Amino acid sequence: MNATNRNEQAALARAVLEIDVNNHPGVMSHVVGLFSRRTYNVEGILCLPVEDGTRSRIWLLLNEDQRLPQVIKQAEKLEDVIAVRRHHAEHAVFSQLEEFFRP
């Protein structure tokens, strides 16, 4: 894990990825493995099944750096990834969860 303090965190640009995937054991490993093996820290993860449960949606909160476009392309190549959508850091999905992460 990258050791960054609170101020450094705030200074970094953030990105939020919304990833539609097939729902089976191993999909999460495929997706987060793309990041970890590039020493790219994933700051936040959310995942729940959608519709009838054959698919899931993964939300990732990331620090934005120049490697992000390449990792997105790699994610799009995964067999179990159906779509990747990129959002700005202001997206509500993680900010609405903040109350569960108070010290």
Partner 1 sequence: MTETLTGAQITIRLLERQGIRNVAGIPGGAILPIYDALGQSTVIHHVLARHEQGAGFMAQGMARVSGQPAVCMASSGPGATNLLTAIADAKLDSIPLVAITGQVPRAMIGTDAFQEVDTYGLSIPITKHNFLVSSAEELLEVIPRAFRIAASGRPGPVLVDIPKDVQTQAIEVAKWPEPGTALPAVPAATEQIAAAAAMINAAQRPILYLGGGVVHSGAARLAVDLAEKANLPTVMTLMALGSMPVDHPLSLGMLGMHAARYTNLALDECDLLIAVGARFDDRATGKVAAFCSQAKIIHIDIDPAELDKIKTANLAIGADVGEALTQLLPAVAENAQKNWGDRVDALRAEFPLHMPEAANPRTHFGLIRAVAACLDDAAIIATDVGQHQMWVAQAYPLRRPRQWLTSGGLGTMGFGVPAAIGAALAEPQRTVVCFTGDGSIMMNIQELVTAAEENVNLKIVLMDNASLGLVHQQQTLFYGERLFASQFKVTPDFIKVAQGLGIAALDLDLAADPAAALQDAIARPGPCLIHASIDVEQKVYPMVPPGAANREMIGA
> Interface with partner 1 includes 26 (CB under 8 A)?
yes
Report the length, in residues, of the chain. 103
Choices 5-13, 56-64, 65-73, 90-98; region in contact with partner 1 by CB under 8 A: 65-73
For partner 1, the closer CB: 9 or 70: 70
Tell the smallest beta-carbon distance from residue 72 to partner 1 (Å). 9
Please list the alpha-helical segments (H only) found in the chain.
6-11, 27-36, 68-77, 92-95
Using CB under 8 A as the criterion, which residues of the chain lie in contact with partner 1 when the complex forms?
Answer: 25-26, 29-30, 33, 37, 69-70, 73-74, 76-79
